[in-house]
Structure 1
Amino acid sequence: MSDAAGSETLGNAGSETLSNKAAKKRRRREPPPDPAPLPGLVDAHTHLAACGGRDAESVHAILDRAQAVGVDQVVTVADDMVDARWAVAAAEWDDRVYAAVALHPMHAGDLDDDTAAELERMIRHPRVVAVGETGLDYYWPGKSDDCASPAVQHETFRWHIDLARRVGKPLMIHNREADRDLLDILAAEDAPETVIMHCFSGDRNVARECVDRGYFLSFAGTVSFANAEELRVAAELVPDEQILVETDAPFLTPHPYRGQPNQSYCLPYTARAIAEVRGVSEEQMARLLGANARRAYNIPLP
């Protein structure tokens, strides 16, 4: 092969590599296509503000697209005080939206007298259906200067548990790499009647302990990932009356669209993955998941 021919071959290969990278990058920016409709679903955990829902028109558009594929209602969730205000506003803008408010464990250090008083006022709002997301995150301390220390997280978590118990609303849990400490605190602090393990990520043993305690386990798109076999075992063993489905949008888009932008309209993909794991029809699974969410959050039929 001549030097010119070799250079041309290498050049073509390099161009092809660049083209593949560009196509992959472009694909990651593109939202997944609408799934086939699967009626009766409720998105048990989403972040409308992070999905672009920062005014009434945008929230209506997100919910219209979701409802067109069978997702009739959503619970939009706060990470910090700014998000909490957005969540309550979204629930007032659209009657298909309900809110959950709390300080994410990363922001646990934001709890003071003023934020505590404001959170308590918000949680008593009739369209706020849960205290969340709160809990423990042991992944980020040491990796992010903005993340509260485990000790601060523990203190703030206990405050949220007490708040949920006092107002009589469900407690929505964030747990990342903190299984034992989180479960021990929930037991010690006398958790409220309804506890929802958002984006459940534990193994089968953690799942069984949560089930035995009567907690709801909510599964996101991660249950459909190729490397999530243990999570699928957990999704299979949860009793019918304790399983939920969520998007955690804009994150955790289900297979085969992993890494692309997520929204509530993508929920049927995950619901179908759960139906396959549990060996039931997708229609039956959707009805069950929707009914469980309405019962867990005490929200009416649309």
Structure 2
Amino acid sequence: MEPEGPKTAEGRRKAGKAAKAPEPVPVLPVDVFDSHCHLDMLEMTVAEAVEKARQAGIRRIMTIGCDLPSSEWAVKAASEHPDVYAGVAIHPNDTKGLTDDVLARIAELARDPRVVAVGETGLDYYRDHASREEQQSSFRAHIAIAKETGKALVIHDREAHDDVLRLLDTEGAPDKVVFHCFSGDAAMAEVCADKGYVMSFAGNVTFKNAQPLRDALAVAPLDLLLVETDAPFMAPVPYRGKPNASHLIPFTVHLMAEVKGVPVEELCSAIAGTGSRLFGFPEG
């Protein structure tokens, strides 16, 4: 016998809606921040994104540039919103034909006090939008800009771990290095920990098939962790497949705390401390 269900079309419709109701977003006990977001790509205003994030315990948002227009946009957004900060750079996928004039403008933007990071830069061997030589030349230039300005270097590393680490060694890594949307395994996490590189985890760490990422998170030191959205991409479970935004970070934080075996409050405090050390954010 089939189980008893709604007797009418209206009942079935209401039951279907109830089954698909979004899970409430938990509020974090200690303010943290979204270390990597693309506010220019969201389907909401900056003010709306900031307010929704604040209600979930996300105090600050770093909006990241991927090319010159988005980097200039990020600086403008940060200048207009006190809880928004900027990162400026040319994404490795956009380095084909990159000119010295564009890099000079990125260096100029990086000196702005609302800019706290040079990124996202790095290497992406998954796509072939630019040659490896072009990407590596750009990465070297961004490493130099980060060192010159004293800003944190935010790295995009996709299927290029060995070359990213090699270039950091040969060029001399800045004092502050962040691997955005960390994609390495536990062995890579141990290398980063030995070098003092910060690892930022995104919503994909909550995915069912992301056990290697959770293994990496497990061995990463608490004081070398950040959390991010990379919004509008990679929304965490239970919002996977939907547009991401900073206010969904608590789902990632709760999973991270579970993997680390620490209370959520302790992890939040550690993330806040790393934000203070890397970006100058007040911890209170």
Q: Give the TM-score, by structure 2 length.
A: 0.90
Q: 3-state DSSP class of the match of 2:82?
A: coil
Alignment correspondent of 1:213: 195
Aligned equivalents of 1:132, 1:52: Cα separation in 2: 23
Please point out which of 16, 20, 38 is paired with 1:47.
38
Any gaps of 5 or more consecutive residues in structure 1? 1-22, 142-146
Query: Are 2:123 and 2:139, in contact at CA under 8 Å, matched by a contact in 1?
Result: yes
Tell me the residue number matched to 1:86: 73
Q: Deviations over 1:216-264 (max 9, x none)?
A: 0000011111111111111111111101100110001111221111000
Query: Does residue 231 of structure 1 match 2:213?
Result: yes
Offset of residue 166 of structure 1 = 1.0
Per-residue deviation at 1:33?
5.1
Q: Distance in 2 between matches of 1:291 and 1:90?
A: 24
Q: In structure 2, how many angstroms separate the alpha carbons of the residues matched to 1:96 and 1:110?
A: 34
Identity %: 43
TM-score (norm 1): 0.84
Cα gap change, 1:285/1:301 in structure 2, threshold over 3 Å: closer, same or farther?
Answer: closer
1:54-133, aligned counterparts within 5 Å? Answer: 58-133=45-120
Picking from 225, 240, 251, the partner of 1:258 is 240
Q: Secondary structure at the match of 1:255?
A: coil
Going from structure 1 to structure 2, the CA distance change for 1:126 and 1:110 (only over 3 Å counts) comes to: farther
Structure 2 residue identity aligned to 1:62:
A
Q: Secondary structure at the match of 1:109?
A: coil
Aligned residue pairs, count: 265
Runs of 4+ in 1 over 3 A off after TM superposition: none
Q: Does 1:37 align with 2:37?
A: no
For residue 177 of structure 1, what is the amino acid of its counterpart?
E
Is the counterpart of residue 152 in structure 1 residue 152 in structure 2?
A: no
Q: Partners of 1:81 and 1:237 in 2: how far apart? A: 36
RMSD of aligned residue pairs (Cα, Å): 1.6
The offset of 1:272, in angstroms, is: 0.5
Q: Indicate whether 1:246 and 2:228 are aligned.
A: yes
Native 8 Å contact 2:272 2:283 kept in 1: no
Counterpart secondary structure, 1:157: helix
- Distance (Å, rounded) in 1 between the aligned partners of 2:24 and 2:249: 10
Range 236-245 or range 105-114, more displaced = 105-114
Q: CA deviation at 1:291?
A: 2.1
Q: Aligned residue for 2:181?
A: 199
Offset at residue 298 of structure 1 (A): 1.8
Q: Larger % of helix: which?
A: 1
For residues 133-167 of structure 1, what are the alpha-carbon distances to aligned partners after superposition, in whole Å with 9 as ceiling and x for unaligned? 000000111xxxxx111110011100100111111
Distance apart, 1:112 and its partner CA: 1.1
Contact 1:34-1:69 at 8 Å conserved across structures? no
Any conservation in 1 of the 2:88–2:106 contact (CA below 8 Å)? yes
Partner of 2:263: 281
AA of the residue aligned to 1:37: V
Partner of 1:18: none
Which protein shows a greater Rg?
1
Q: Deviations over 1:104-152 (max 9, x none)?
A: 00011253132122111100000000100000000111xxxxx111110
Question: Aligned residue for 2:157?
Answer: 175
Which residue type is aligned with residue 176 of structure 1? Answer: R
Alpha-carbon offset, residue 34 of structure 1: 4.7
Aligned amino acid, residue 26 of structure 2:
A
Q: 1:45 offset after TM fit, Å?
A: 0.6
**Partner AA of 2:27 in structure 1:** P
Seen in structure 2, the aligned counterparts of structure 1 residues 195 and 253 have a Cα distance that, compared at 3 Å, is: same
1:62-98 CA-partner distances (Å, limit 9, x unpaired): 1000001100001110111111011001101110000
Show CA shifts across 1:32-54 (max 9, x none): 6551210311111111001146x
